[in-house]
Amino acid sequence: MSIVECAAFPESYELYRHPSGLTILVNENRELAKAYAVYAANFGSVINHFRVGENEVRLPDGIAHFLEHKLFENEEGDAFAKFGKVGGNANAFTDFDITAYLFSCTSGFRENLEILLDFVKRPYFTDQSVQKEQGIIGQEIKMYEDHPGWRVSFNLLRALYRKNSVRIDIAGDVDSIAQITPELLYETYHAFYRPSNMVLCVSGNASLADVLAVADRILEPEKPGEPVVRLTEQEPAEITQSFITQQLPVAKPIFAIGYKDTDPAHGAELARRECGMEILSNLLFGKASRLYNELYEEGLINSEFGAGYACSDTFAYLEIEGESDRPEQVFERVKAEVARVRAEGLDRAAFERSKKLVYGRLIASANLPENIGNMMARSFFLGQRYYDRFEAAKEITCEEVAALLPKLTESAAALSTITPQK
């Protein structure tokens, strides 16, 4: 067991390598009434091709999300019902590079954790249950096909990326999930749901001793096995297209503008990059920015306008979203403002304000055990400490953030719009 400490403020968490191969992170806070646990696999929707030994496997789009749904069900019924009996509030989610199973509770932490670790380690798939789930997820996919906010963002990713699977909807499509079989689910599960490819993060009113009391009973010692090698195609630096549009039943056009970052980072460097890009995006496009106020006063945008940076160690992009009757004009103004700031340099006072805002948001996020647990898991899979972002936000300089401006080039930019159906 080791202690991971934060240099930005007096905070720490415990890190423990379990004999099963699982990494356990615990941020204990007995002043809170709630405990939160997230059990996550380093496996998300962007992984669709891998090799184990001599066996090479191509996965249908959406299988990570499908597997997340199916793990809650086994021969004994639905795991949600078990959580309900011991006062646990359970859920799960699949993202581009992570699948997570979680619960929160105000009592019965050990009982809830036992349910969590037990159902995740006992997959159960049949032809009948898979076919049933294909129908359920197929309806979910159709719902998202008509969701304007979802479509504008994924259309943008299709414009930015040519090869990277981040361009594909997390749930896949109806045709891709129709290819999923129990045998393929088992093969995928055994490749990626090894404890050594997972992390258990606990925050709030629970201790490492509480966790180990359950983990030592439920998890078996690690067994040697063939390593899993992820296979990916090289993503070109160029974007696929600079403009993409779709018609849906919306009252007002919505848009998403993206800048493709062609140089993804890893570990602490990625945490610093993410922090710097958040500061930069707020400085350029936040509600206190020159551009936001000009566009707002001219009636080109409304208060829905905002920006953020999404990243992993295989992709990264800056996204600006909003509503406008003239999204193409907003796109041109965004590009012009980036070019102006790149030529004139950053305003140091504006940088300091943006830096304080980003740091303040990080501190606020650390008030909730759910945020802490989820970010500990995400950070771990990216080769980071949970505190890397806090330290970066406190230390980063104006010069470092200014050095990120050349990434925002016109050739790396694309516009996605959703316009009202005629």
Same domain, 213 and 301: no
Q: Above 90 in pLDDT, residue 74?
A: no
Looking at 190, 207, 230, which one is the last position of a domain? 230
Same domain, 160 and 288: no
Q: What is the tens place of the pLDDT at every residue in 55-72? A: 999 999 999 999 999 999
Average pLDDT over every residue of 253-279: 95
Name the average pLDDT for the chain.
Answer: 96
Tell me, what's the pLDDT at 75?
A: 82
User: Which residues are paired to 23 by β-bridges?
Assistant: 17, 199
Same domain, 295 and 373: yes
Q: In which band, very low, low, confident or very high, does the pLDDT at 49 lie, cut at 50, 70 and 90?
A: very high
Tell me, what's the pLDDT at 9?
A: 87
Tell me, what's the pLDDT at 139?
A: 95
- 68 annotated active-site: yes
In a domain, 162, yes or no: yes
In a domain, 118, yes or no: yes
Q: What is the tens place of the pLDDT at every residue in 172-228? A: 999 999 999 999 999 999 999 999 999 999 999 999 999 999 999 999 999 888 899
In a domain, 237, yes or no: no
Q: What is the tens place of the pLDDT at every residue in 144-171? A: 999 999 999 999 999 999 999 999 999 9
Same domain, 194 and 259: no
- CA end-to-end span of the chain, whole Å? 62
Question: What domain count does the chain have?
Answer: 2
Average pLDDT over every residue of 371-379: 97
Q: In which band, very low, low, confident or very high, does the pLDDT at 412 lie, cut at 50, 70 and 90?
A: very high
Amino acid letter, residue 333: R
In a domain, 292, yes or no: yes
Tell me, what's the pLDDT at 23?
A: 98
Tell me, what's the pLDDT at 77?
A: 77
Tell me, what's the pLDDT at 223?
A: 86
Residue-range definition of the domain harbouring residue 56: 2-230
Cβ-contact 121, 97 below 8 angstroms: no
Same domain, 357 and 410: yes
In DSSP notation, 135-201 reads: HHHHHHHHHHHT-HHHHHHHHHHHHH-SSSGGGS-TT--HHHHTT--HHHHHHHHHHH--GGGEEEE
In a domain, 75, yes or no: yes
Tell me, what's the pLDDT at 225?
A: 83
Tell me, what's the pLDDT at 284?
A: 97
Dihedral sign (CA 179, 181, 183, 186):
positive
Same domain, 174 and 259: no
Active-site position among 28, 68, 337, 391: 68
Same domain, 53 and 165: yes
In a domain, 238, yes or no: no
The CATH number covering residue 358 comes to: 3.30.830.10
Same domain, 226 and 249: no
Tell me, what's the pLDDT at 224?
A: 84
Rg (CA), the chain: 22
Looking at 205, 230, 255, which one is the last position of a domain? 230
Q: Above 90 in pLDDT, residue 132?
A: yes
Structure pTM? 0.95
Q: Above 80 in pLDDT, residue 18?
A: yes
Average pLDDT over every residue of 237-249: 97
Same domain, 177 and 81: yes
Average pLDDT over every residue of 115-128: 96
Average pLDDT over every residue of 321-328: 98
Same domain, 24 and 99: yes
Dihedral sign (CA 334, 340, 343, 345):
negative
Query: Percentages helix, strand, coil for the chain, rounded to the nearest 5?
Result: 45, 20, 35
Cβ-contact 354, 279 below 8 angstroms: yes
Same domain, 126 and 161: yes
In a domain, 235, yes or no: no
In DSSP notation, 206-229 reads: --HHHHHHHHHHHPPPP---PPEE
Query: Looking up tokens 């503008």, which residue turns up?
Result: 257
- DSSP E strand stretches across 178-264: 198-204, 228-230, 243-248, 254-260
Q: In which band, very low, low, confident or very high, does the pLDDT at 390 lie, cut at 50, 70 and 90?
A: very high
| Beta-carbon count within 10 A of 310 CB | 17
Same domain, 198 and 267: no
In a domain, 236, yes or no: no
Q: Above 90 in pLDDT, residue 73?
A: no
Average pLDDT over every residue of 38-55: 95
Looking at 196, 230, 264, which one is the last position of a domain? 230
